[in-house]
Amino acid sequence: MSQENVTPDLARERSKATFDVENLAEFMIGGRDRLKRKRFLQNIAIQDPFFKKQKSWAFCSVEEQYDMGLSKSIYIQKKLQEMGITDMQEAFYYREPAMSHENSPLDLHYGMFIPTIDKQGTPEQKQKWLHLSESLQIVGTYAQTELGHGTFIRGLETTATYDPKTKEFILDSPTLTSKKYWPGCLGKTSNHCVVMAQLYTKGKSHGPHMFMVQIRSMKDHSVLPGIEVGVIGNKFGYGTNDNGFLSFDKLRIPRENMLMRYSQVHEDGTYVKPQNAKLAYGSMVLIRSSIVSDAARGLAQACVISIRYSAVRRQTEAYPGGEEPQILDYQTQQYRLFPLLASAYSLQLAGKYVFNTYLEVNDQIEKGNLESMPELHALSAGLKAFSTYEASAGIEVCRICCGGHGYSQASGLPKIYVDVVPGCTYEGENTVMMLQTARYLMKCYSRAKQGQKLPGFVQYIGQNLNKKSCMSEEVALGCLVMAYEHRAARLVEAAAMRMQSLIQGGKKQHEAWNGSSVQLLWAAKAHCHLFCVKNFVDAIQAKSLSSKTATVMKSVCQLYGVHGILENLGEFMQDGFFSGEQVGYLQKKMLALFEDIRPNAVALVDAFDYPDMVLGSCLGRYDGQVYQALYDYAKSAPMNHTEIHSTYYKHLKPLINPETTSDAMQFAKL
């Protein structure tokens, strides 16, 4: 990034750094070549006059945001084709500066509609629809959730009833609550849609299945008969996306429109069920690992913005007559921001781990080995919840740490927040996700109690809980990991004991589960937290880190571990695992780590390597020229295009009596 025009405060911060930013940036992305490639692709987008000339999204109405989003998305797709880029990650690099935290109306077309045809369609279906979809003649989305139904798919009400006489399915929305509601790309963009509906044939229900439905005319985009479709109205964010509703009035579609790769309905209405229902787990793991990475990226960007700004912003003389210090020198600011910086690193590493493990496990599955899937599936569910909670809350802390200016869209932070926080809900509501993880942990616990050996990362479950922490003043990484293992093991056991005692007290299984679910949440959270700590500790042993970088990252990792304990201290103390004295060590260490990290804080956020166009923030600029940028942002606001706003003539002027007022009241001498 250009060193020109960098404010003295930021230049000094960078010169103070004790490690090589490039070394860490390469490590985080996975090597020098990839970093170079990322920058190369990002720069193509950054230099492109098409993106440069776009109006700032912050000054667009929702309709303009949608228009711009669609226009950019189509342009991006064309460019990717021209460049011959098919790799998802490479496409993301190119797209990131062009549509940072803007949700493309085509996300579901590329991310769900096409992959679903590809994975769930027969060869004939793929031939019929894939090419047209890839060339954007067919634009489609994936419609699952309904007005009254979310995460629980079996509760869906839309029906698809087979009529053997005409060899058609009759799609119907029998109730208000059965209307499809929320799918992106649905309201105005899509002409087709994959619809999840309850399959009925020969008078029997066979649960949810997928159907291809054309919803708008290919001739003129008009809505086809039997269909009602529209947008669901404005949201917290996602202005670029036409999230929609959709309902069917006994709409008939050909039998061939059911996606029949795994289940089939024969012409006579005979239902053939799929061979292995668990294969769908793979793509869920993939999506959830990408949510972990999205959340981590949002938090990392928020840290870049707030930490750079905190190095530029000066506030309140420390002593009468003294210079106003950089607010990053306040211990309280470090206390709020540095643990989040550590979290951002930890979550990025966790996302990377889950993605890489997914690739390995997928290879094994192709070879017929499904053994590692349950552990990874459980981890990815919990981590999705853990990371989106942590990141969303953290982004808001970063925003508030920027004071008043954090509240302006100029800071870029509100946009990051409204983009990341729905990750707590979509693709599996977070509480449900945590309880899925807990269910797996309970299985592991009962296996451990039966003396079975547990796989990989869950081996800590069922360990002896009668021990004390090895924590000393030095705060060794090993003692941190041991503490998190102990806490997770204890909370898993406590949840299992609670379940058991409720069942022994006469509760039914599902009542006992509900009556233990708060403790199950605690256990699942502790499990995910442990994973993040352990994975962080493992990751920074990498040989590609120079010794200077490794030293800095060790501090960041320690802070992640120490702060996490202090924030959840009761869970580590309830059984006497930590003594009060050891807690004192941790508190002292945390404050000492703030001082260790302080000189490298700006370099640590630089190493995330986000160009200014990705951050989209006046406060987070690499050059630190925040005040000029804020002023320019203000000047560019459409309301400033006229000196006198129309409201004056409508509302204010009628109140003014020219007889009693005059400009001479002040400017007698003008």
- Taking CB under 8 A as the binding criterion, the range among 46-54, 198-206, 277-285, 654-662 that sits at the site for a second copy is 654-662
Residues 303-322 as x/- pattern, contact with a second copy by CB under 8 A: ----------xxxxxxx--x
Q: Tokens 């983009």 map to which residue?
A: 419
Three-state SS across 319-337? CCCCCCCEHHHCHHHHHHH
Contact between 574 and a second copy per CB under 8 A: yes
Q: Would you give the end-to-end CA distance of the chain in angstroms?
A: 50
Residue 661 contacts a second copy per CB under 8 A? yes
Q: Output the CA angle 30-31-37, nearest 5 degrees.
A: 100
Contact with a second copy (CB under 8 A): which of 435, 480, 526, 562? 435
Contact by Cβ (8 Å): 191, 150: no
- Rounded to an integer, what distance in angstroms lies between the CA atom of residue 230 and that of residue 243? 8
Q: At closest approach, how far in Å is the CB of 300 from a second copy?
A: 20
Residue 478 CB neighbour total at 10 angstroms: 10
| Binding residue (CB under 8 A) for a second copy from 46, 454, 573, 613 | 573
Q: Which of residues 99-128 bind a second copy (CB under 8 A)?
A: 128
Site for a second copy in 74-103 (CB under 8 A): 74
- Report the alpha-carbon distance of residue 195 to residue 185 in Å, rounded: 13
> Minimum CB separation from a second copy for residue 479, in Å?
17
Q: Rank residues 92 and 633 by Cβ distance to a second copy and give the closer one.
A: 633
Which residue shows structure tokens 């599955």? 365
We find the least distance from the C-beta atom of residue 34 to a second copy, in angstroms, to be 33
Measured CA to CA in angstroms, residue 115 lies from 8, 118, 133, 196 at distances of 50, 5, 11, 15
How many residues lie near a second copy (CB under 8 A)? 162
CA dihedral 7, 12, 18, 23 (to 10 degrees): 20
Question: Based on CB atoms, which residue is closest to a second copy, 249 or 317?
Answer: 317
The 8-class DSSP code of residue 468 comes to: -
| Cβ-based nearer residue to a second copy, 38 or 308 | 308
Which strand (E) or helix (H) includes residue 554?
A: helix 547-567
Stretch that binds a second copy, among 112-120, 200-208, 567-575, 601-609 (CB under 8 A): 567-575
Site string for a second copy, 324-353 (x = CB under 8 A): x----xxxxx-xx-----------------
Can you tell me which of 269, 374, 422, 611 binds a second copy, judged by CB under 8 A? Answer: 422
What residues from 515 to 554 belong to the interface with a second copy (CB under 8 A)? 515-518, 521
Please report, as residue ranges, which positions from 601 to 630 form the binding site for a second copy (by CB under 8 A).
627-628, 630
What is the rounded (10 degree) CA torsion for 441, 443, 448, 450?
160
Q: For residue 243, give the nearest of 189, 190, 186 by alpha carbon.
A: 186
Range in contact with a second copy (rule: CB under 8 A) among 93-101, 258-266, 338-346, 393-401: 393-401
- Closest contact distance (angstroms) between CB of 556 and a second copy is 18
**Counting contacts by CB under 8 A, is residue 414 touching a second copy?**
yes
When asked if residue 370 is in the footprint of a second copy (CB under 8 A), the reply is no
Told to check if 170 binds a second copy by CB under 8 A, we report no
Residue 184 interacting with a second copy (CB under 8 A): no
- Smaller CB distance to a second copy: residue 17 or 416? 416
Binding flag, residue 214, a second copy (CB under 8 A): yes
* Rounded CA separation 368/647 (Å): 69
The answer to whether the beta carbons of residues 508 and 499 sit under 8 Å apart is no
From 267, 427, 581, 643, active-site residue: 427
Assign 473 to helix, strand or coil. coil
234: left (phi over 0), alpha (psi -120 to 50) or beta: beta
Nearest CA to 116 among 194, 196, 183? 194
Site string for a second copy, 484-513 (x = CB under 8 A): ------------------------xxxx--
- Known active-site residue 427: yes
Question: Site residues for a second copy, window 242-271 (CB under 8 A)?
Answer: 242, 245, 252-254, 257
Helix axes 547-567, 517-539, angle to 10 degrees: 170
Largest CA distance in the chain: 96
Q: Which residues are catalytic?
A: 427
